[in-house]
Homo-oligomer: A and B are copies of this chain.
Amino acid sequence: MRPHFLLIFLTVLLAANAPADEGMWTLDNPPLGRLKASYGFAPTQEWLDHLRLSSTRLSDGGSGSFVSPRGLLLTNHHVAASQLQSLSNAKRDYMKDGFYAATLAEERKSPDLEVTVLISMEDVSSRIRAALKPGLSQAEAQKARRAVMADVERESLKATGLHSECVTLYSGGEYWLYRYKKYTDVRLVFAPERQVAFFGGDSDNFTYPRHDLDMALFRVYEDGKPLETRHYLKWNPAGAKAGELVLVAGHPGSTSRLNTMRQLERDRSEYAKYLDLWRDQLRLLRQYAARGPEQERQAGEEIFGLENSIKSVEGSLQGLKDPNLMAKKQRDETEFRALIRANADWQKELGGAWDAIVLAETRAAARFDQQLYRPFNSRIYQFALQIVRLVAEVKKPDQERLPGFHESQMESLRYQLSSPAPIYPELEIVKLAGSLERLTQHLGAQDPYAAAALAGRTAQEAARALVTGSTLADLAARKALIDGGEVSVAASTDPMIVLARKLDPIGRENYRWMEDNVRSVRSTAGEQIGKARFLAYGKSAYPDATFTLRLAYGTVKGYPMNGTVAQPMTTFYGLFDRAAGFGFAGAWALPSRWMEATRRLDLSTPLNFVLSADIIGGNSGSPVVNRAGELVGLIFDGNIESLPGEFIYDEERNRAVAVHPAAMLEALRKLYGASRVVSELVRTKP
């Protein structure tokens, strides 16, 4: 499970009716009343701060936590997969074989992973709102909003040195400034074989009972040395127990629980198109992988990512097609709007928001196919476009720049542009040719993007010429262009740069059009609906997910499943049962290390478990802690019943799936001989 950011955002906010374990709570507004009422648990501010400062966000789209005073960081194998893939080559395949650094010196620097820790949160709603002077058109207000956010972020960065982000919560009901400490020297310490980390493959993904050792360990360095930190989670080797209250700190990517009905309808239509697109991309990647083992290795992580997104969005789409779910959403919206309508002042100020959204979404639908099919599926082209824009944007006042090019974002942008992660030309050609074929098919060969890229050639010819003619796979070439600035970029004959120069103005026009006609309306309407919600229900609820730190909580417990009850935990017994049940073949084959060492393992060791905490993609790698704040699990998935969780939380059947610490220790000790790491993890054992 990883976040997918295609999605937008409204919830079943009736606090009185909300299920006890629902919610992804911001750390400024933790659910203290609910925890006290449901579980008799009252965490102190110190407890909350320690958990926050022990939790991390990973730039590859997941979460993690510090688990030792020397910067050891625990996350999922599938969150680490992009780095594992980049560190592998034809001769050494860390995805297939796993990795363990027996000494500190052997720890391997990840090419482009950024790890951030949330240091502070500040409510900047009044400053943002103050910038939205009365009398501005919606488009002008949108510009003003962007500008003041850039100011806030830049000023904060300058004042604190911390990475600073404005976060829109409650669909614009509140704006916050989040400040992060960022680490970029992040080294790989341990990863098991993909076959046991992702046991059961795409079939078992998003399901339960599950049997995956979906873990990886990095170490965060500062100034070339392991990070010294007192904020880490103590490892509880006994781990989570059935019936126990547990809490989750992580970064859920995106939910759409506060969406209006019109936005849910939009999602339903757009998701179906995304699925078609992704299935086509997946088909091409599988064809590529079928060429040979090295091609299979190169495409492996992207295939996983696409399969994961497809299964996740299929689940969301099923929710959007579920008459019960949609009827509930409609009832909630009808009741909410009736409450607003019942107060003439509220209705006058805020009641128009829903119709405004209808307008914005109708406009957006007219350009949706362009948004979907024009982006080229090519890492090299993305570099080219970023470089063309970077050299132009840096010369502008910060307030006026495109998103992604603000002062506060420059460090990460330059870091990502200088990633040494390998790029495989033949794979790039397959992906880009696929983009060009779909583009031509859906928008026609006369579409300016298609015409510019194809220039009379077939998609295959064009893709090959563009990829093989470009030097941008080489990070030195990228650096030279960036350092040369606008002059170098204007003079470049690199075909990818040439293409990006030609298409950039069209992209900018589209950005402007979306800002003025769609996003500005959404922003204003979102702020109105956010305010309306506070007026109608108070701030008794949580905002939709925004890939920012949230606290969720729940009980380790099974649920009704397919005629029976899902067990709260699985064990190594279950891993071997499922492998044997499929004849140790395909996605259920086990690494030889595991086949040989069965007898050495305590098979009754808990492997995975389910909890009712409310999570979603982006929570991958989140720590699960007990009342003492000790690590008792590692989130890595949700069950299939949780996929409509994008829109609604169902306490009866929505479950997060976590790796149990006992299984991690048992495997590290008995199968991987990872005594160095084990002693680091458990020396601080309570």
- Chain B residues whose CB sits within 8 angstroms of the CB of A41 once the complex forms: none
Interface contact A603-B573, CB-CB below 8 Å:
yes
Chain A: interface residue count, which band?
A: 35 or more
A468 within 8 A of B: no
Residues of B near A570 (CB, < 8 A) are: 577, 581
Contacts of A130 in B (CB 8 A): none
Shortest Cβ distance from residue A589 to the other chain B in the assembled complex, whole angstroms? 13
Q: A394 → chain B, closest Cβ, in Å? A: 47
Per DSSP, chain A at the interface is mixed
- The answer to whether A209 has its CB under 8 Å from any CB of chain B is yes
Are A576 and B578 in contact, CB atoms less than 8 angstroms apart?
no
Say yes or no for A200: interface residue by CB 8 A criterion.
yes
Tell me the residues in window 644-678 of chain A with beta carbons closer than 8 Å to chain B beta carbons.
none
Q: Is A624 an interface residue (CB 8 A)?
A: no
* Contact call B571/A581, Cβ cutoff below 8 A: yes
How many Å lie between the Cα of A567 and that of B200 in the bound state? Answer: 11
A206 interface residue per 8 A CB criterion: yes
CA distance A567 to B562 in the complex (A): 15
Cβ of B207 and Cβ of A563 under 8 Å apart?
yes
Least CB separation from A608: chain B residue: B581
Partner of A569, one of B242, B581, B603: B581
A578 / chain B contacts, CB cutoff of 8 Å: 567, 574
How distant is the Cα of A583 from the Cα of B556 in the complex, in angstroms?
13
Task: With a 10 A CB-CB cut-off, give which of A568, A573, A588 has the most chain B CB atoms.
Answer: A573
Residues of B within 8 A of A565 (CB): 203
Do B576 and A571 touch across chains, with their CB atoms under 8 A apart? yes
B-contact 0/1 string along A540-576, CB 8 Å cutoff: 0000000000000000001001111101111101101
Q: Which of A627-651 contact B (CB under 8 A)?
A: 639-640
Query: Complex: how many Å from CA A581 to CA B577?
Result: 13
For residue A476, CB closer than 8 A to chain B, the reply is no
In the complex, the chain B residue whose C-beta lies closest to that of A311 is B563
Q: How long is the Cα–Cα vector from A569 to B578 in the complex, in angstroms?
A: 8
Residue among B242, B582, B640 making CB contact with A563, cutoff 8 Å: B640
**A604 near B576 (CB under 8 angstroms)?**
yes
Please tell me if the beta carbons of B562 and A640 are within 8 angstroms of each other in the complex: yes
In angstroms, Cα B90 to Cα A10, docked, is: 60
- For A640, what are the chain B residues with a Cβ–Cβ distance below 8 Å? 562-564
Most B Cβ at <10 Å: residue of A200, A242, A563, A574? A563
Q: A574 vs B570: C-alpha distance in the bound complex, in angstroms? A: 10
A392 within 8 A of B: no
- Shortest Cβ distance from residue A586 to the other chain B in the assembled complex, whole angstroms: 10
Q: How many Å from the CB of A596 to the closest CB on chain B?
A: 14
| A580 on interface, CB distance cutoff 8 Å | yes
Q: Which of B563, B568, B571 makes the CB contact (< 8 A) with A206?
A: B563
Q: Once the chains bind, are A568 and B582 in contact (CB under 8 Å)?
A: yes
Known contacts A562-B561, A562-B562, A640-B562; A574/B571 CB under 8 A: no
Chain B residue nearest to A578 (CB atoms) is B567
- A595 smallest CB distance to B (angstroms): 11
Query: Given A200-B564, A563-B207, A640-B562: A580 and B573 within 8 A (CB)?
Result: yes
Chain B proximity of A557: nearest CB distance (Å): 11
Q: Say whether A49 faces chain B, with CB atoms less than 8 Å apart.
A: no
Say if the beta carbon of A204 comes within 8 Å of chain B: yes
Interface string of A282-310 (1 = CB under 8 A from B): 00000000000000000000000000000
* Other contacts beyond A204-B564, A567-B578, A576-B604: 13, CB < 8 A: A203-B564, A207-B564, A315-B563, A561-B562, A563-B639, A564-B640, A568-B581, A571-B576, A573-B577, A574-B577, A574-B581, A580-B604, A603-B603
**Minimum-distance CB pairs A-B, first 10:** A567-B581, A563-B640, A574-B577, A573-B577, A207-B563, A207-B564, A573-B576, A203-B564, A571-B580, A573-B573
- A residues within 8 Å of B by Cβ? 200, 203-204, 206-207, 209, 242, 311, 315, 558, 561-565, 567-571, 573-574, 576-578, 580-583, 588, 603-604, 606, 639-640
A–B pairs, 28, beta carbons within 8 Å: A200-B564, A204-B564, A206-B563, A209-B581, A242-B582, A558-B582, A561-B562, A563-B639, A563-B640, A567-B577, A567-B578, A567-B582, A568-B581, A569-B580, A570-B577, A570-B581, A571-B576, A571-B577, A571-B580, A571-B581, A573-B580, A574-B577, A574-B578, A574-B581, A576-B604, A577-B577, A580-B604, A603-B603
